Structure 1
Amino acid sequence: MRSRIMFACVASTCLLAAPAWAQSLRVALSSEPTAIDPHYHDLSPNNALALHIFEGLTKQDEKQKLHPGLATSWENDGKNKWTFKLRQGVTFSNGKPFSADDVVFTFCRTLKNETAIAGSFADITGAFASVEAPDPQTIVITTKSPDPLLPNFLASVGILSSSIIPHDKLSFDVAKNCGVTGAWPVVGDFNDGKLAIGTGPYKFKSYTRGSSIELERNASYWGQAEPWESVRFLPVPNAGPRLAGLLAGDYDVIENPAARDLGRLKDDKRFGYVVTPSTRVIYFQLDVAREPSPFVKAENGKNPLKDERVRKALSLAIDRDAIVKRIMDGAAEPAYQFLPTGMFGTLPNPPALRYDPAAAKKLLSEAGYPNGFQLTLATTNDRYINDSQITQAVAQYLTQVGIRAEVDAMTRAVYFPRRSKKEFSVALGGWGSTSGEASSFLRQWPATPDEAQTIGGSNYGGYLDPDYDKLIRAAISTLDDAKRSELLQQAGAKVLESNAFIPLHFESTVWAYKANLNYVGRSDQFTMAMSVKPAK
């Protein structure tokens, strides 16, 4: 039986005349993108920026609903084969036409990207058994096992122009360098603008780390022209200066003003704001494998985090409600699993993760640590909303039950490479589901690393459970939605019981803007110029 999913884009709605607007837009970001390279790091600020310049075969709207992108339709044969029909009449910003060769080249590049952080995007393309281009407007992908979410994943893989480096006939033959004869591009080639060539609504203009990222409207864009002639993104990591800049007229849109300041904006007719719940869970990942662990010191010389009772005690010691109320100013929801309840593959009624310091102390004593132990919590201080403050609060909660906790906060430019090298014992993380279902987290973080199956790429804590692996492997290759959901629920429950990952809360994202603008908030937390329109 063939399963078929077809989408089409009507020309009259996709090819509209450019509006008469020719203004600039200034956006203050709470978290700065770390590169222009769309394949450098699978990180929300990077992905959001990339979508201005580069496009995927598919795209997601503000509610993560799937739409055509550089592919106008796709179908699955009920097994491992997906066929994508590509959009015609599209050109890159350097004038080169878009074709199937560019897709083959892009998929190869994700697997030949020596500067990528933690194998970003290779977890998608590494699952391909073959990629064929029977004609310039068709791509056929055969996956190693059935992959029901492939079109969702491809929304995040920005397509590059194959013209940016020398090559012979291109083919998805990674062992033979895919036909590429020149050097594969590295992150610096994009950051300096040399290879930042895409099909998106904007073109790269300049990038000065720590200062600004400037884009200009792509006059040759195939879709509806954007109202902004130029866009300037400015990194402003502190909420106070972001809000002050908006009030002073320095910025048109800002990310994440402090929730406690929303009352001030509500009473000022010069501004508007929107609060949008996200799928991003904030959590701690524990080193449950090494003996000893680098940032844990116990009297017996062991790694206490290997004991399930200790991990349960850490969870019981944390007052999630207080963190949401006092640190997040109510702009978050306590997390009792890894995706908000009600989304695909989540537990319908997850038990609340209660705050019970007395029970935490009892478990620590039962595990042989009545006097606690020393522990360092690693965290970013410029990535997630209130990330270092949250970690400081958790350290205080742990100290109250006898665990002498310290905090090591650092910039994400330092943090993420160190985390990928497994340098931490307890690490703060944040994960938003790009697919809109529970498998996004469950295949990436708790699964035993398997490069061939492209799972477990972020299992830095060494979590290992063969029964869990069986569940998640079965789930991600099951095309039947009901069966897949049941398997994901079983897998999610097993990870929660282990406490190898301790969820804290789901972020809500706030955008504030001038009253002469409209802004559509996104559940994926992406801040994009395409979401900003002049108010009617």
Structure 2
Amino acid sequence: MRLFSTLILSMLLAVVLPMQGRAADLKIALAADVSSLDPHYLNIAPNVAFASHLFDALVNVDADGHLVPGLAVSWKPIDATTWEFKLRHGVKFHDGSPFTADDVIFSLDRPATLTRSPGPFTSYTKQIVAKQIVDPYTVRLKTATPYGPLALDMSAIFIVSKKAAEHATTDDFNSGRALIGTGPLKFVSFRRGERIVLKRNDDYWGEKAEWDKVTFRIITSAAPRLAALLAGDVDVIEAVPTADIARLKTDPRFHVEQKISWRTIFWHLDQLDRPSPYITDKSGKPLAANPLRDPRVRAAISMAIDRRALVDRTMEGQAVPASNIVAPGILGYNAALPVEKYDPQGAKKLLADAGYPDGFAITLHGPSDRYINDRQIVQTVAQFLNHVGISASVETLPLSVYFGKARTGAFSMSLLGWGTLAADFGLRTLLGTPDPAIGWGSWNWGRYSNPQMDKLVHASLASVDQQARDTYAQQAMAVALRDHAVIPLHYQYATWAMRKGLRYTARTDEFTFAHQFHADAPMQKASALK
């Protein structure tokens, strides 16, 4: 009898094992388009998350936002302006060629050569003034001044093969010709806006993916994405529609994972000294001056927004009101900054004090397919502004169009979501006085400039001591937010829904990594079948 049971169990395992990953396929529906496969071309989350399947950085980030070894096994400061990175031995690129220090230097130089990037990675590389190869597996990076967070910067730069990419264009990456990385998956095919197919890298240096093949479907609309999961067309969806989360949690066919995101959803405000492109008086005549340059007007806009109602209704409880541009727990988060109190009467008074007792007209812009409920967020905020005399209309655009326009200052008030592991990084990129020479302000859509904030951010970035860095970053945050440089709304929850039998560790960076999905243990399945 025992022999018979053993035979039955062996047969069951033979059936179950191929379904448990190593001989199985995984189908994932992504909520945002992957606009480029070039890992150095456009610094937006969908592109970065996808590149992590094909490429590695020197430093990786775990699910909780902590730095962990990647292609570098260790890093340390040699002196105040020099960091040494020890590279991992035995790593191979997808074409079988060895990974060495030459590939690191090439990859750090490459972002600066992509001069037409709509969202460059140069803010992570500009501070490096010299690079030294000590030996094939040791690299030293020198900065002009003391710079504490260099390791964090290195988590944002993917290492490409110098051999494959030295003469490659972004089109060569998008076609797959130059897509030679060291990551856990290899490129198979790419149909822009539709699907991307990858296969397992059996020579990966780290934990190998369970899946022979992974198909990513681009489904930017929430309802069709959910429908694909319910129909079994995909195994996993990200950015689950907020209205459906509670139902999915109680459906035995599915499993839901959630985590508070590092992403802050906020408004950029045009602060250039000229008539703003989408602001008029209420008869449609352009205003002679830009009212958003007045801090009282910016404060009035912030006070007009009921963040609690926005979270409870528009986000259906799947968010937390924001007071900073980084989430709680992130270095530089300033707990002394309260969530702006909803005060429509106070907002009206500030508008009157600023010379706009009857308000003005403005068009709010946002993406239609990037953030959770992004279109509804823009519409809700427009309603709040209408209540205080600002006549707000709404225009939302596909992400592929929206980012390109917003970064040129084409809008007066534009919605953005940003996630970072440190406030000084976020402030440098989002609100630092734009300076291409040092990579500051590359996402400063409103062209805000405040020398006091810049000085504090510089001091924070120069601090090797974490406590000093945190203090400077908090002070910089206070300067920017009390000036209403941007208008924070909320931190959204990151949510994944998947078929029963799959598990995923929810990530604070919201990234969906196919190689980190796991099937339930075969032995547990076999026991259940018994």
Q: Which residue of 2 aligns with 1:214?
A: 197
Question: Which residue of 292, 299, 303 maps to 1:312?
Answer: 299
1:220-231 equivalences in 2 (<5 Å): 220-231=203-214
Q: Which residue of 2 aligns with 1:439?
A: 424
Report the Cα offset of residue 33 of structure 1: 1.3
Cα deviations by residue, 1:360-415 (Å, 9 ceiling, x for unpaired): 11111111111111111111111111111101111111111111111121111111
Q: Which residue of 2 aligns with 1:418?
A: 405
CA contact 1:115–1:186 (8 Å) conserved in 2: no
C-alpha distance in structure 2 between counterparts of 1:259 and 1:396, whole Å: 21
Letter in 1 for 2:254: F
C-alpha distance in structure 1 between counterparts of 2:477 and 2:251, whole Å: 44
CA contact 2:209–2:516 (8 Å) conserved in 1: no
C-alpha distance in structure 2 between counterparts of 1:437 and 1:67, whole Å: 16
Q: Which residue of 1 aligns with 2:130?
A: 130
Report the Cα offset of residue 332 of structure 1: 0.5
* Partner SS, residue 436 of structure 2: coil
Letter in 2 for 1:288: Q
* Partner SS, residue 152 of structure 1: helix
CA contact 2:21–2:518 (8 Å) conserved in 1: no
Cα deviations by residue, 1:449-485 (Å, 9 ceiling, x for unpaired): 2234332222221212221211111111111222211
Q: Which residue of 2 aligns with 1:54?
A: 55
Letter in 2 for 1:272: H
Question: Which residue of 253, 263, 287 maps to 1:270?
Answer: 253
* Partner SS, residue 159 of structure 2: coil
1:366-377 equivalences in 2 (<5 Å): 366-377=353-364
TM-score (norm 2): 0.91
CA contact 1:114–1:186 (8 Å) conserved in 2: no
Letter in 2 for 1:467: Q
Report the Cα offset of residue 352 of structure 1: 2.4
Report the Cα offset of residue 128 of structure 1: 0.7
Question: Which residue of 317, 321, 344 maps to 1:334?
Answer: 321
Cα deviations by residue, 1:131-175 (Å, 9 ceiling, x for unpaired): 111211111100122221111121121111011256xxxxxxxxx
1:60-99 equivalences in 2 (<5 Å): 60-99=61-100
Q: Which residue of 1 aligns with 2:145?
A: 145
Runs of 4+, deviation exceeding 3 Å: none
Q: Which residue of 1 aligns with 2:370?
A: 383
Cα deviations by residue, 1:296-348 (Å, 9 ceiling, x for unpaired): 11375221111111111100111111111111111110001112234322212
Letter in 2 for 1:296: I
1:335-414 equivalences in 2 (<5 Å): 335-414=322-401
CA contact 2:21–2:519 (8 Å) conserved in 1: no
C-alpha distance in structure 1 between counterparts of 2:407 and 2:144, whole Å: 26
Moved more, 234-243 or 188-197: 234-243
Change (3 A) 1:197 1:133: same
CA contact 2:301–2:347 (8 Å) conserved in 1: yes
Letter in 2 for 1:503: P
Do structure 1's residue 288 and structure 2's residue 271 form an aligned pair?
Answer: yes
CA contact 1:376–1:405 (8 Å) conserved in 2: yes
CA contact 1:127–1:452 (8 Å) conserved in 2: no
CA contact 2:241–2:372 (8 Å) conserved in 1: no
C-alpha distance in structure 2 between counterparts of 1:359 and 1:136, whole Å: 63
CA contact 1:345–1:437 (8 Å) conserved in 2: yes
Do structure 1's residue 164 and structure 2's residue 179 form an aligned pair?
Answer: no
Do structure 1's residue 482 and structure 2's residue 483 form an aligned pair?
Answer: no
Cα deviations by residue, 1:91-135 (Å, 9 ceiling, x for unpaired): 1101111100111111111111134223x2111111111011121
* Partner SS, residue 269 of structure 1: coil
* Partner SS, residue 440 of structure 1: helix
TM-score (norm 1): 0.90
* Partner SS, residue 104 of structure 1: helix
C-alpha distance in structure 1 between counterparts of 2:333 and 2:21, whole Å: 46
Report the Cα offset of residue 524 of structure 1: 0.3
CA contact 2:100–2:136 (8 Å) conserved in 1: yes
CA contact 2:383–2:392 (8 Å) conserved in 1: yes
* Partner SS, residue 156 of structure 1: coil
C-alpha distance in structure 2 between counterparts of 1:399 and 1:67, whole Å: 47
**Higher gyration radius (CA):** 2
Cα deviations by residue, 1:4-30 (Å, 9 ceiling, x for unpaired): xxxxxxxxxxxxxxx972111000111
C-alpha distance in structure 2 between counterparts of 1:115 and 1:197, whole Å: 22
* Partner SS, residue 383 of structure 1: coil
Letter in 2 for 1:346: Y
Question: Which residue of 201, 204, 222 maps to 2:187?
Answer: 204
C-alpha distance in structure 1 between counterparts of 2:143 and 2:293, whole Å: 36
Do structure 1's residue 323 and structure 2's residue 310 form an aligned pair?
Answer: yes
C-alpha distance in structure 1 between counterparts of 2:206 and 2:140, whole Å: 24
* Partner SS, residue 181 of structure 2: coil
Question: Which residue of 204, 224, 234 maps to 1:251?
Answer: 234
C-alpha distance in structure 2 between counterparts of 1:293 and 1:259, whole Å: 34
C-alpha distance in structure 2 between counterparts of 1:62 and 1:472, whole Å: 26
Q: Which residue of 1 aligns with 2:30?
A: 29
Moved more, 199-208 or 152-161: 152-161
Moved more, 199-208 or 480-489: 480-489
Unaligned runs of 5+ in 1: 1-18, 167-182
C-alpha distance in structure 2 between counterparts of 1:201 and 1:303, whole Å: 50
* Partner SS, residue 77 of structure 1: strand
Change (3 A) 1:395 1:20: closer
Identity %: 42
Report the Cα offset of residue 186 of structure 1: 2.5
CA contact 1:106–1:160 (8 Å) conserved in 2: yes
Alignment length, in residue pairs?
A: 498
Question: Which residue of 494, 499, 505 maps to 2:490?
Answer: 505
Letter in 1 for 2:452: D
Letter in 2 for 1:421: T
Letter in 2 for 1:131: K
* Partner SS, residue 456 of structure 1: coil
C-alpha distance in structure 2 between counterparts of 1:219 and 1:341, whole Å: 39
CA contact 2:124–2:156 (8 Å) conserved in 1: no
Change (3 A) 1:259 1:482: same
CA contact 1:23–1:228 (8 Å) conserved in 2: yes
Q: Which residue of 2 aligns with 1:172?
A: none
C-alpha distance in structure 1 between counterparts of 2:21 and 2:170, whole Å: 36
Q: Which residue of 2 aligns with 1:279?
A: 262
C-alpha distance in structure 1 between counterparts of 2:62 and 2:239, whole Å: 20
Q: Which residue of 1 aligns with 2:514?
A: 529
Q: Which residue of 2 aligns with 1:117?
A: 118
C-alpha distance in structure 2 between counterparts of 1:391 and 1:165, whole Å: 40
C-alpha distance in structure 1 between counterparts of 2:112 and 2:478, whole Å: 33
Unaligned runs of 5+ in 2: 1-19, 522-530
Change (3 A) 1:476 1:20: closer
CA contact 1:342–1:348 (8 Å) conserved in 2: no
